[in-house]
Chain A
Amino acid sequence: MGSLHCRSCRYGFMPPYVLERVAVQGSERLRNVARHTLTTDQTFRTQRGPQQVVEPLTAPLPRATPGQPARYIHSAEHRQELPGRLIRKEGEEASNDPAVDEAYRWLGATYRFFWEVFERDAIDGRGMPLIGTVHYGQDYDNAFWNGAQMVFGDGDGELFNRFTASLDVVAHELAHGVTEREAGLVYAYQSGALNESFSDVFGSLVRQHYLNRTAMQADWLIGAELLTDQVNGRAMRSLADPGTAYDDPVLGRDPQPGHMHDYVETQADNGGVHINSGIPNHAFYLVAMALGGYAWRAPGHIWYDTLRDPRLAADCDFATFAWLTEDNADRRFGRQSREVVAIREAWRAVGVTS
């Protein structure tokens, strides 16, 4: 047996988080994972060729009638092929597969939010089918939007639970589709952070709408259900208090800033799209708390108006976005309105404007 070695650890080329769990908690599951890896590589097998690119699903699925979603939930059956096998489509009974049924339920809740609050008919505003795939990959700890559908892994069970467990994460992914269709915000640096922030804001609003929570009652967390009990953290992100969602020996510390003083200049994470999104996230939270009541009403409408504003450029930066939200608040509520004042003060509080 040979093992590859990393400079910083003497255990071989095991990722730190795996080593941590094996060493500290002696997890049988991780030992099995490692054993499986050793076994599958033991034969020095020929690697299979490049995976074929799966084209976005273009089959003519029935479109929704206004006010009714058209959901199609597939299972990748632990492979990385999309969309996988269709398990449950609109109107069918529960499948008894928790991941399938969660995806179905949460995509429905997200559809209802956009329809009831903004009269938006699905991702494209024209009843686009909501296509989801669960059980993607092996121990896959991620969820993503691929430009045509939403994809959810089961998590590794050690750090992350299955990604369909969280309503706001499912809504976050669907909202990426909405942002893509409306604004096409470039997924890098400040425009990418705005793209991420839209998904967090709408993700949180969908949850608040589903639970009928006011801004004051909401937890303002993203992905609270995703982290296992073994992780020292509450969620993946906090709009109320960026940078405090987790502080864990394996995951590290939540890197999100809540103020431009702490803006992270980096090339990692597509220029910090999941990091610096904490700043516009917190601005939205401040607006919602200042206005009180249901955050999807005035604050949500202002953000949605801004997303649909033709002046929102694909490479928009924070300062321009701040101005656009204020201008949209002015259009909807008037220049002297408390909404305009709340927005102006929020962007000043996070250091985007002075």
Chain B
Amino acid sequence: MPRLETHSVLCIRREGGVAHFPGLASPRRIHCGQCSDAQRQWLQDLLERAAQCPDTEGGADRRRLFIEIEEGESATGTLPVWSLSLDEAQAPEGLVALWRHGEWQV
């Protein structure tokens, strides 16, 4: 997993569930350049825990989180350099809370 740098952008999407609501499907983008060092480290730790989460198979209407680290700029936007998909039920609480409520304190 790459280190989160000041030029990194963390993108979190949530998909699935019993219905698809377009208004709730927008990705959350966190620009690491606007984070303190402590916040960036908190995010890094969170991603490393997420990467170790077991995944689940089967079932229906489950929700999944899609995480990408984007870096740099291209003509079409930022470039993903790392991605992860995991079952929301298996994700670290902090990641789900970050998607839902956004703000946090350090």
Docked-complex contact B18 and A251, CB < 8 angstroms: no
Docked-complex contact B102 and A47, CB < 8 angstroms: no
Secondary structure of the B contact surface, majority rule: mixed
- In the complex, A268 Cα to B49 Cα: how many Å? 25
The contact size tier of chain B is 35 or more
Count contacts on A: residues with CB < 8 A to the other chain.
65
Docked-complex contact B101 and A14, CB < 8 angstroms: yes
- Digitize A60-96: 1 where CB-to-B-CB distance is under 8 Å, 0 elsewhere: 0000000000000000000010000000000000000
Q: Which residues of A contact B38 (CB under 8 A)?
A: 44
B36 at the interface (CB under 8 A from A): yes
Q: Which residues of A contact B98 (CB under 8 A)?
A: 4, 13
Docked-complex contact B19 and A4, CB < 8 angstroms: no
Docked-complex contact B28 and A143, CB < 8 angstroms: no
Docked-complex contact B60 and A180, CB < 8 angstroms: yes
Docked-complex contact A12 and B102, CB < 8 angstroms: yes
- Digitize A319-343: 1 where CB-to-B-CB distance is under 8 Å, 0 elsewhere: 0000000000000000000000000
Q: With a 10 A CB-CB cut-off, give which of B30, B34, B60, B104 has the most chain A CB atoms.
A: B60
- Digitize A267-287: 1 where CB-to-B-CB distance is under 8 Å, 0 elsewhere: 011101011000000000000
Q: Which residues of A contact B22 (CB under 8 A)?
A: 251-253, 255
Docked-complex contact B60 and A274, CB < 8 angstroms: no
A223 at the interface (CB under 8 A from B): yes
A187 at the interface (CB under 8 A from B): yes
A186 to chain B, nearest CB (A): 11
- In the complex, A144 Cα to B34 Cα: how many Å? 37
A163 at the interface (CB under 8 A from B): yes
Docked-complex contact B49 and A275, CB < 8 angstroms: no
Docked-complex contact B39 and A53, CB < 8 angstroms: no
Docked-complex contact B29 and A50, CB < 8 angstroms: no
- Digitize A1-26: 1 where CB-to-B-CB distance is under 8 Å, 0 elsewhere: 11111111000111111100000000
Question: Nearest B residue to A222 by beta-carbon distance?
Answer: B19
Identify the stretch in A33-41, A106-114, A123-131, A208-216 within 8 Å (CB) of chain B at 4 or more residues. A33-41
Q: Which residues of A contact B36 (CB under 8 A)?
A: 2
Which B residues lie at the A interface, using CB under 8 A? 15-26, 28-31, 34-36, 38-39, 42, 45-46, 49, 52-54, 56-63, 89-90, 92-94, 97-106
